[in-house]
Amino acid sequence: MRLRIVCVIAVLALAAFTTTGCAATESLGSPDIRGNISTITVSETGDGGSILVIGEIQADTDYDKAYVSVGADVEIIDLDGKRFAFEDLSPLTEVEVWFTGPVAESYPVQAAAKHIEVLGYDAP
């Protein structure tokens, strides 16, 4: 009987961890900014850098202009789930960016990226 209870608890705990892990990646909420990349700066170490994103404040976004630092560990994907490297980004690329950590409330704001989705490319 004791073994059965331990097994049930283990299965429930495993199910809870699995469900929580999936929900964290799928429910990011609304992006902090949506717009086009204006400027890209590659870090001296070559692992990430920063982007200046310019857009408009919309019903589901908070900012219209942001300097965003992009670390090597930031997930960058398109709407189909294809992964991108920081080096694949280019000016005029339309993106949605979710921030992590504190936001420096200067203008434009300064923040670190948690997740970036590539929406498309704007024609010059």
What is the per-residue pLDDT for 18?
42
Residue 6, in any domain of the structure: no
pLDDT value for 20: 41
Residue 86 covered by a domain: yes
Residues of the chain with pLDDT under 50: 6-8, 14-25
Domain assignment of residue 4, yes or no? no
Would you state the pLDDT for residue 27?
80
CA-closest candidate to residue 28, choices 81, 97, 121: 97
Task: Give the integer Cα–Cα distance in Å for 60 and 55.
Answer: 12
Structural domain includes residue 116: yes
Task: Kindly state whether residue 49 falls inside one of the protein's structural domains.
Answer: yes
Q: What is the pLDDT of residues 12-34, one digit of tens each?
A: 554 444 444 443 446 889 999 99
Look at residue 96 and tell me if it is in a domain.
yes
Task: Give the pLDDT confidence score for residue 122 in this predicted structure.
Answer: 57
Query: Which CATH number fits the domain that encloses residue 74?
Result: 2.40.50
Q: How far apart are the first and last CA of the chain?
A: 70
- What was the pLDDT predicted at 23? 38
How many structural domains are present in the chain? 1
For the whole model, what pTM was predicted?
Answer: 0.76
Q: In this structure, are residues 103 and 59 in contact, taking their beta carbons and an 8 Å threshold?
A: no
Containing structural domain, residue 39: 33-121
